[in-house]
Chains A and B, each alone.
Chain A
Amino acid sequence: MKLSDSLSEKTEIIRDGNFSSMGTVFSHYPQQIIYVVRECDVRKVIGNSFISCVITTPSLVSKLPDKIGIASTQDPQHVFYALQSMLSQHPEFVLQPFDNQISPSAKIHPSAVISATSVVIGRDVVIEKNVIVNEQTIIDEGCIIRSNSIIGNTSLPPGSVMNGPKIQPSGGVHLHREVDIHANTCLHRAIFKGYTEIGQQTKIDNLDIVGQGTTIGKRCLICAGVTIGESVIIGDDAWIGPNTTLENQITIGKNVYITIGSTITHDIDDDKVVKDNYAIDRKRFKKVIRGM
């Protein structure tokens, strides 16, 4: 699809380009279109070769690379989600529906509500009381979903809650094997064609919220009351303490230890300990603790 055909006349098109999928700064879909608001994201746009078009503000136009198509408006987020709601009718940009595949060895409590179409439930899955499983959900073998949790509900994009476009999500949720989701947790489904992915053997405690399009690595432990924003990437073997808040569109490396009650607004490299708001190298932190 061409950039000039899909956007309205209010947006100024600086360089035309083609795109075939929607995504974020981190995602690797072929020929994707993204929006950029923050200046720190420009470096990631240069690093990601899958991006073919960008919607951005006038001040950031000169900093972006030459090869990609650019459109500029005052409110890129709003334009981007309006484009998404238009393209959610288009068959290329949506995950296709299919018949339910539920394994006979799965234990599903009668009070659980499971969507009539597009759900895959593997063998030995346990689904407990009052759980809601929405469409486009894939649950692999050995997963446990505990009482009152919601898998794959529709989230609103940030900043356009009142007068924004109506979002129809085109993605889903994928739980890999032996994932354990405790009570009162809420997993949002991806808005773009793709999945909110949770890696194998990851355990998620009570009262957590996982935003749309987030990918969590293998063997992570996520404690109670954690709020994870949209399109976050978390590496393997991470520990995220209770009551932590993670910002939208950040990456967290492997083997990271985030302590209780932190607020994280920046990218974090591998092997770090995060205390409250700043990160320390994990080996150095252990040395300091032993020296005391």
Chain B
Amino acid sequence: MILQIFFLKMKSAVVADSWFMHTSVMQYFTKICLHFFNYFAPKTRLYQRVKVGSLGKGNTIHPTAIIDYDQVIIGDFCIIDKNVVIEKNSIIGNHVTIGQGVVIGSEGFELRRIAGEIIPVAHLGGVIIHDNVFISPHACIDKSSLGEYTEIGESSVIMTGVEVGHGIKIGQNVTVSEGTMIGGYARIGNRVKIGKRCSITDGISLDEDVVIPDYTIVTRDVKRSSQDTSRRS
């Protein structure tokens, strides 16, 4: 918990852009802290939420699918197709369909530029996929950092070639169409419809019942009342 609060403070814009953090002493200090965190945190069981894996009844899993059964919970009556990769700390509900070549729970894209180097932040969270979710081929769902979960709500549909970034919370009955990229830590409400090849910036929130047309670039929060029909918003 203390580490989590510390990292959230460090990531906030007020701290990260301040003069104090850009001094060379603090740069090297944060660099050493990050290296220390990346080396030791994945080895502890502190953030490892799924400690014992389980597999429900009536699943049809293709033999070429690679699943880390020791640390993955899968419900009943799921369909998992060819070449699917499911990494550890993933929780999958009942009646979920996962298409060919989907990667669930791979490393997120969170990196820090410190002292002329790029240092990745180790991701320790997982992915929760609720009941009746449909995921089409070649989608990617990244795991969240710091012991949280990337969530996909009940009865949502995720179509071909969609990237769901780290730490995203998607509500119930959401449709995400082909080729859409969703940035990290976005919040998407219930019954939202997102069109084809949209790009959604990280850290924004879309209210319930919002409809986003095809090819839209969304860089601000979208409120429930506004009818967002412009091409660029």
Contacts and interface: CB of A to CB of B under 8 A. Distances in A.
A219 interface: yes
Interface string A7-48: 000000000000000000000000000000000000000000
A130 B109 contact: no
B199 A180 contact: no
A153 interface: no
Interface in B69-84: 83
Given A207-B138, A221-B111, A260 B217 contact: yes
Contacts of A276: 217, 232
Nearest to B183: A242
A201 B83 contact: no
Nearest to B68: A129
Contact of A243 (B83, B117, B199): B199
B99 to A, nearest CB: 12
A261 B199 contact: yes
A147 B109 contact: no
A243 B66 contact: no
Interface string B56-71: 0000000000100000
A242 B163 contact: yes
Interface in B88-131: 101, 103, 106-107, 109, 111, 113, 116-118, 120
Contact of A224 (B107, B109, B118, B197): B109
A129 B107 contact: no
Contacts of B106: 146-147, 182-183, 206
A68 interface: no
Contacts, number: 89
B232 A207 contact: no
A129 B109 contact: no
A148 B103 CA distance: 8
Contacts of B83: 130, 148
Interface in A226-268: 241-243, 260-261
Contacts of B179: 225, 243
Contacts of A207: 138, 140, 161, 163, 181
Contact of A260 (B85, B116, B199): B199
Given A242-B181, A243-B197, A260-B219, A224 B103 contact: no
Contacts of A182: 106-107, 109, 140
Interface string B189-202: 00000000101010
A132 to B, nearest CB: 11
Given A183-B106, A243-B199, A201 B85 contact: no
B148 interface: no
A146 B85 CA distance: 10
A154 interface: no
A223 interface: yes
B232 A203 contact: no
Contacts of B232: 276
A129 B87 CA distance: 10
Interface size class of chain A, counting residues whose CB lies under 8 Å from the partner chain: 20 to 34
B142 interface: yes
Contacts of A128: 85
B111 A206 contact: no
Contacts of B66: 111, 129-130, 147
Contacts of A184: 101, 103, 138, 140
B101 A146 contact: no
B85 A243 contact: no
A180 B106 CA distance: 12
A182 B103 CA distance: 10
29 contacts: A129-B66, A130-B83, A130-B85, A146-B103, A146-B106, A182-B107, A201-B117, A203-B111, A205-B109, A206-B163, A207-B138, A207-B140, A207-B163, A219-B113, A221-B109, A221-B111, A223-B109, A224-B163, A224-B181, A225-B163, A241-B199, A242-B163, A242-B181, A242-B183, A242-B199, A260-B201, A261-B217, A276-B217, A276-B232
In the complex, the 3 A-B pairs of residues with the closest C-beta atoms, listed nearest first: A261-B217, A261-B199, A183-B103
Interface of B: 66, 83, 85, 87, 101, 103, 106-107, 109, 111, 113, 116-118, 120, 138, 140, 142, 161, 163, 165, 179, 181, 183, 197, 199, 201, 217, 219, 232
Interface of A: 111, 128-130, 146-148, 180, 182-184, 201, 203, 205-207, 219, 221, 223-225, 241-243, 260-261, 276
Given A146-B103, A276-B217, 5 more contacts: A147-B87, A182-B109, A219-B117, A219-B118, A224-B165
